[in-house]
């Protein structure tokens, strides 16, 4: 379920950013570009979450 919600919110936010940026620079909005970037961002987010240690650090 964690992976689904991560993809869901990443999908929405990345497509929103893609739409706004493409509108600001005056090019056509492509849904496929936003979706591809959302998949890549989701994989990176999940990878970084796995790499960060979860245990407390003892000094």
With contact defined as beta carbons under 8 Å apart, do 19 and 34 qualify?
A: yes
pLDDT, position 3: 93
Closest by CA position to 6, among listed 36, 53, 49, 54: 49
- In tens, the pLDDT along 16-51 reads 999 999 999 999 999 999 999 999 999 999 999 999
Res 53 pLDDT > 90: no
pLDDT, position 25: 97
pLDDT, position 46: 95
pLDDT, position 57: 79
């Amino acid at each position: 379920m964690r992976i689904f919600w991560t993809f869901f919110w990443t999908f929405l936010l990345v497509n929103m950013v893609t739409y706004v940026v493409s509108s600001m620079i005056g090019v056509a909005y492509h849904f496929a570009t936003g979706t591809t970037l959302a998949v890549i961002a989701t994989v990176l987010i999940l990878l970084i979450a796995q790499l960060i240690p979860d245990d407390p650090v003892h000094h």
